[in-house]
Amino acid sequence: MKETKKYWKGLEQLQNTAEFQEKANKEFPEYLPLTGEGDESSRRDFLKLMGFGLAAVSLAACETPVRKAIPYVRKPETVDPSNANYYASTYVSGSDVCPVVVKTREGRPINVEGNKMSSVSGGGTYPQVQASVLSLYDKERLQSPLINGKKASWSDLDAAVTGALSAASGKIALVSHSVASPSTLAAISKLKEKYPSLDHVQYDSYSYDGLTSAYEAAFGTKSFPLYDFSKAKTIVTFGYDFLGSAPNATLSTKQFASTRKLTDSKKDMSRLYAFEANLTITGANADYRTLIKPSQEGLYVAALYNEVASKLGAATIASKKIEDSATIKKAAADLLKSKGASLVVSGSSDVAVQQLVIALNDLLGSYGSTIDASKSLKTRAGDDKKFGSFVSELKSGVVGGVIFYNCNPVYDSAFGADIQAGLAKVKFSLSTADRKDETSALVKYQAPDHHYLESWNDFEPISGSYSLSQPTIKNIFDTRQAQDSFLTWAGVETSYYDFIRSNWETYGYPSATGFASFDAYWDKCLHDGVYDAASGEAEVLSPTVDVASIASAISSSYTLDNAGLELVIYQKASIGDGTQANNPWLQEMPDPISKATWDNYLTVSPKQVEEWGIALGDMTTQLVKLTVGGVSLEVPVLPQPGQAYGTIGLALGYGRTVAGKVANGVGVNAYPLIASKGGSLSFAVTSGVSVEPTSTSYQIAQTQTHHTYMGRETVVQEALLKEYQKDPQAGRHFPKIATAEGMVKPYAVSLWKGHSYANHHWGLSIDLNSCTGCGACTVACQVENNIPVVGKEEVLNRREMHWIRIDRYYSSDATKEDGYTAMEKASANPEITFQPMMCQQCNNAPCETVCPVAATTHSTEGLNQMTYNRCIGTRYCANNCPYKVRRFNWFKYHDNKQFDKNMAMNNDLGKMVLNPDVTVRARGVMEKCTFCVQRIQAGKLEAKKEGRRPSDADVTTACASACPSEALVFGDMKNPESKISQMLKIQSSDKGVESKEPRAYHVLEELRVMPNVWYLTKIRNKDEKAVKEEAEA
């Protein structure tokens, strides 16, 4: 077998310091303090406590507290206590929209999942959607309207607001993020009718103005085009993170993943080229990834354009020659080979670059196939120039009044300081934000909006695709829907609900067929949550781009040899633009790439870190002083392989000052660093960036440095596409075990008889090829299973509680022939593999055999059961687990002031989000993934009640349901009809189940623990020879 690549978990492992080795050998470091300072208990104290405890227990046992059972006064017909109800609704936060299905229990939403019927999201979710349900129960939301910070009634507020609006002299600005809701826009125009001086200003905290402006220039309308990655065979991205932070990434993820799935009948997949500075999720999933600086981006796009144009005989443009053109040549060849199924995308904020990309796509025939320019994505409608002129007007004092509709520009725009200064000069200022934030803290009137789970609303995220929001709970606080406020102030008597209904009679209903009445149509739409208006044959538009004028713009503003440092501002998969920063689930979600929690930091290439002389330790780094323009910040440094040398990355969404207990003071605010270039905002700062090391050390809480898999090729198995096409088992590792009869397959040797499953045999299949590492599963699992948030300190102590982690492996290009030293040498641009890892539900589980109290046992359905009430916390099981997926409750995380950031368990309101079907674990017990046994039991019961066998539709786990790329497939391996059985070609025998799918393998197969989780090999669509060699040949 060919020598596989060497994987390493982090730089700590790579450098393999003595400190790291020592820590890596211990899963649960015992030396860490468990108690506070000076808290040394003596033996006497222990005895006293024990004596008291015994007495208290026996006293408490004498009289059981009286528990009340309080039924409804009038039970709603559709609500049966303990049975869940599901409502289709739509998530909205900032500019983003995602159709969802909300699970409610006894009238309170407890879980949000993707709406599988949606053509907008493709049925998936992303971490922020999953976590949004906790924001509903955030105690720090505003509880009533406020005037000058004092509690007021809605009638007082309405009188004051209408008075002020009528009296306002000069322009009134209504500022919002992109509004993709047609009825909200209609309500705003009603307000405009009443107050003609009102102007609606939209902005996006992460702007794609360059892209939309380029489309305006090329097609005549400012819009965000619709990409279809499922049709693309070759994709080239220039810093456009369509699998991560880009708008509507769930749909692109689903589309992209569909091109990466391999079966016996489909042995081909797409190829992705990425050119970028920061290591994004998209870059991590690319087949070919090239490190470029933002200052070079235009030249690379131009080089690609010229390469394609010259082959097609079209005019080329004058441009500087790039140094490393091999990858560009290869990309161009691939694009041309798949002409008509090619796609080039860019995240650049430079209109010229975007126009060149449009021209390139036009050459490649992408319009009408992989790009639909006749439809647009309406969630990025922000206009930087208009927003910029609003800010300057505000600052100069000509604005008479300003209404902030659910936005926070003092924090989440590049002009926060200017807006803050301008607000002091405005007579009338109002915010509808649902909480006190950086902006609403400065306004006179606060008219808090409902949370989206309490609201009626409609959306049209993609032209012609509608979705509805409906309240799933009565408003918890004395808030009012912002649109109702607008209508009230506009003097319109109807409620927003009636307003939406009357609008919907005009949207899709006229073209809808098969409905007896509008009510029937409305009921159907409300039930499904989504409605796609019938669209005819899509009109294929062709762009008009003046390539020559672009050429000069590009060659003047891009250079190959920028000596200065360049800053790339990005959004993390967890926190995004920071709107939901006060959500502890998101703060504790490990970043897919850096695996860091509770912080933002400078991502710097390891070479640069060395040059700066930063002292690195185990999760320890140093602060540096970052100066951009006139703004200085002290930021920790995180060495990030795959970061282009000479560039640094910093995430938005942190450094909140007025957000709440969880978010305040976490990280630094990167918004003031955004550069404004000719009216357009640029998230790449190419000049005036300097970094000065300090001597202050700092700790970044990362979840991945302490589990060592180095050198074990049985963990990640991968192959190249060509190898796979020749031999579907390519890349598989077949361990052998030495016996008296010679080397045998591990499954031939066993101490155990094995289990036979008569009823069900649950299994999970994970396709490493379509997992993008986004992290939606981690948060979904946290919501479903009442997993506590432990806080930064405890993550530093390696005590995070997530049941599902996504292991991210960097690779080194060296092989064994080069020697171990070479293997340890970092590749500046590593390949990346994401591997979701949870309890493998082993059939020969090593944990089960060592539990002294039989708290972890095997079920007749293949589950490795964990019984919390039986567990005494010896932790033998965790010691014996080869996958390190068991978690120990070191503390009581609920009702504990020390963990008040764990807000789902520490106040009465937050507790409403807990899943009532899952125990909140006590201190001192082990816990782990249960394959969502509560969902399995519920699905089985539903089938039993109906007298049938359960199907795939009855049972799925939270992670599989959340996965936007459908990389996780859960099901009953005993049922030959199930998707997992067919996908893995499961064959059952007395010895257990076997998969006939050539790609399916078990992690650490040689241990013969026989997991019920199967992984499908990672296949890279790379050619065998390195790009350079090929170019030379």
Partner 1 sequence: MITNNLSIRKATRLILSASFFLLVIFFSYTSQAQESDGIPTDESVVSAGESLFKGNCAQCHDIHEVVIGPALKDVHERRPKEWLLKWVKNSQKVIASGDEYAVALFNEYNKNVMPSYPFSDEQVTSLLAYIKVESTKEPVKAEVAAAGDAAGVAAADDSIPSSYLTAIFVVLIVVLILILVVLGLIISVLRKYLNESSELNEEDVEVVNQKFDLFGLLQSNAFIGLVIFLFTAIVLKTLIDGAFTIGVQQGYMPTQPIAFSHELHAGQYEIDCNYCHTGVRKAKSANIPSPNICMNCHSGIKNVGGASGVSPEIAKIYAAIDYNPETGEYGNNPKPIEWVRVHNLPDLAYFNHSQHVKVGGLECQTCHGPVEEMEVVYQYSTLTMGWCINCHRETDVNTKGNEYYTNLVELHEEHSKEPMKVEDIGGLECSKCHY
Residue 513: is it exposed, middle or buried by C-beta count within 10 angstroms (0-12/13-18/19+)? Answer: exposed
Minimum distance from residue 284 beta carbon to partner 1 (Å): 34
Q: State how far Cα 473 lies from the chain centre.
A: 26
Non-local (6+) Cβ contacts of 753 within 8 A are none
Minimum distance between the CB of residue 71 and partner 1, rounded to whole angstroms? 4
Greatest CA separation found in the chain? 95
CB of 951 to partner 1, least distance (A): 12
Q: Closer CB to partner 1, residue 73 or residue 743?
A: 73
Return the number of the residue (859 or 982) whose C-beta is nearest partner 1.
Answer: 859
Q: How far is the CB of 104 from partner 1 (least distance, A)?
A: 14
* 1013 vs 164: CA distance, rounded Å: 63
Instruction: With beta carbons less than 8 A apart as the criterion, state whether 291 and 829 touch.
Output: yes
Does the CA dihedral 1014-1020-1023-1024 come out positive or negative?
A: negative
Q: Which is nearer to partner 1, 664 or 934 (CB)?
A: 934
- The whole-angstrom separation of Cα 453 and Cα 605 is 42
Residues 204, 209, 212, 213: is their CA dihedral positive or negative? Answer: positive
| Nearest CB to partner 1, comparing residues 697 and 951 | 951
Q: Are 191 and 490 in contact (CB under 8 A)?
A: yes
Least distance from partner 1 to the Cβ atom of residue 913, Å: 17
Distance set, CA 635 to CA 205, 581, 588, 627, 665 (Å) = 21, 18, 19, 10, 13
C-alpha 347/C-alpha 360 separation (Å) is 15
Please report how close the Cβ of residue 59 comes to partner 1 at its closest, in angstroms. 11
Looking up tokens 């786990």, which residue turns up? Answer: 957
Is 243:256 a contact under the CB 8 Å cutoff?
yes
Structure tokens that stand for 718 in this block = 């991968």
Task: Return the number of the residue (80 or 268) whose C-beta is nearest partner 1.
Answer: 80
Contact 254, 260 (CB under 8 A): no
Gap between the Cα atoms of 995 and 987, Å rounded: 6
Name beta bridge partners: 382: none
Task: CB nearer to partner 1: give 33 or 947.
Answer: 947
Nearer to partner 1, 96 or 861 (CB): 861
Which CB sits closer to partner 1, 409 or 939? Answer: 939
Closest contact distance (angstroms) between CB of 287 and partner 1 is: 41
Minimal distance, residue 28 CB to partner 1, in Å? 24
Shorter beta-carbon distance to partner 1: residue 35 or 78: 78
CB 211 within 8 A of CB 246: no
CB of 60 to partner 1, least distance (A): 9
Closest of 785, 800, 723, 781 to residue 999, by C-alpha = 723
Structure tokens at 613: 């002389």
Q: How far is the CB of 211 from partner 1 (least distance, A)?
A: 47
Alpha-carbon span 974 to 757, nearest angstrom: 8
**Of 515 and 868, which has the nearer Cβ to partner 1?**
868
Q: Which is nearer to partner 1, 542 or 860 (CB)?
A: 860
Choose among 613, 608, 610, 596: nearest CA to 695.
Answer: 613
Phi, psi (deg, nearest 5) at residue 795:
-65, -40
Residue 495's alpha-carbon distances to 114, 183, 238, 255, in angstroms, are 28, 12, 46, 39
Q: Which is nearer to partner 1, 36 or 71 (CB)?
A: 71
Q: Whose Cβ is closer to partner 1: residue 136's or residue 855's?
A: 855
Q: At its nearest, how many Å lie between partner 1 and the CB of residue 596?
A: 31
Please classify residue 191 by burial: count the beta carbons closer than 10 Å to its beta carbon, then call 0-12 exposed, 13-18 middle and 19+ buried. buried
Per the CB < 8 A criterion, the answer to whether 89 and 530 are in contact is no
Instruction: Give burial (CB, 10 Å; 0-12/13-18/19+) of 169.
Output: exposed
Q: In whole angstroms, what separates CA 492 from the centre of its chain?
A: 39
Q: Closest CB to partner 1 among 176 and 915?
A: 915
In angstroms, give the least distance from the CB of 846 to partner 1: 18
Q: Cβ 323 to partner 1, closest distance in Å?
A: 59
Residue 103: closest CA among 122, 121, 84, 120: 84
Please report how close the Cβ of residue 976 comes to partner 1 at its closest, in angstroms.
Answer: 12
Task: Give the three-class secondary structure for 794.
Answer: helix
Shortest Å, Cβ 917 to partner 1: 7
Which of residues 60 and 540 has its CB atom nearest to partner 1 in the complex? 60
Q: d(Cα 582, Cα 451) in Å, to the nearest integer?
A: 14
Closer residue to partner 1, CB minimum distance, 522 or 762: 762
Measured from the CB atom, is 61 or 953 closer to partner 1?
A: 61
In whole angstroms, give the CA distance from residue 455 to residue 457.
Answer: 6
Residue type, 1000: A
Strands (DSSP E) contained in 167-257 are: 171-176, 198-202, 224-227, 234-238
Enumerate binding residues for partner 1 (CB under 8 A).
58, 61, 64, 66-75, 80-83, 758-759, 855, 857, 859-861, 863, 865-870, 917-919, 930, 933-934, 937, 940-941, 943-945, 947-950
Q: Please report how the helices 384-396 and 416-423 are oriented relative to each other, as an axis angle in degrees rounded to 10.
A: 40
- Provide the minimum distance between the beta carbon of 862 and partner 1 in the complex, in angstroms, as a whole number: 11
In 10 A of CB 270, how many CB atoms?
A: 24
> What does the angle CA 124 – CA 127 – CA 133 come to, to the nearest 5 degrees?
95
**CA 285 – CA 1020 distance, rounded (Å):** 9
To partner 1, the closest distance from the beta carbon of 82 in angstroms equals 4
Q: What does the alpha-carbon distance between residue 613 and residue 20 come to, in Å, rounded to a whole number?
A: 19
- By beta-carbon proximity to partner 1, the closer residue of 636 and 862 is 862
Q: Is 301 helix (H, G, I), strand (E, B) or coil?
A: helix
CA distance 902 to 488: 38
Q: How far is the CB of 990 from partner 1 (least distance, A)?
A: 13
